[in-house]
Amino acid sequence: MSENKLLDLSFEFAVAIVNLVDGVTAPNSSYMTDQLARAGTSVGANIHEAQYAQSKKDFVEKLEIALKESN
C-alpha cells in the first residue's frame, strides 16, 4: 500500500465495484452495470489526477468530481 490513504481507499472501492458488477446476472442490466463500473473506477482516477493539480482551486475541483462520482 502507498502512503496516500485516499488513493488506497479509492482503489479498494474500485475493486469492490468491479466485483459487484461482475456478480450481477440480471437480464438487461448492462447499461446500469456499465455506468456503475465507470463511475466507481473514475473516483480513483480523479483522486490520482488531483495530486498533479496546477493550483489549489484545480485540486479542489478534481476532488469534488471524485466526490460526485462516488455519490
**Tens-digit pLDDT profile for residues 15-61:** 999 999 999 888 888 889 999 999 989 999 999 999 999 999 999 99
Nearest to 36 by CA among 48, 46, 22: 22
- pLDDT(1) > 80: no
Locate 31 and state its grid cell: 447499461
Supply the range of the domain harboring residue 31.
5-70
b vs e for 8-43, b when ≥16 Cβ sit within 10 Å of the residue's Cβ?
Answer: eebbebbeebeeebeeeeeeeeeeebeebbeebbbb
Q: What is the CATH number for 30?
A: 1.20.1440.60
Number of domains in the chain: 1
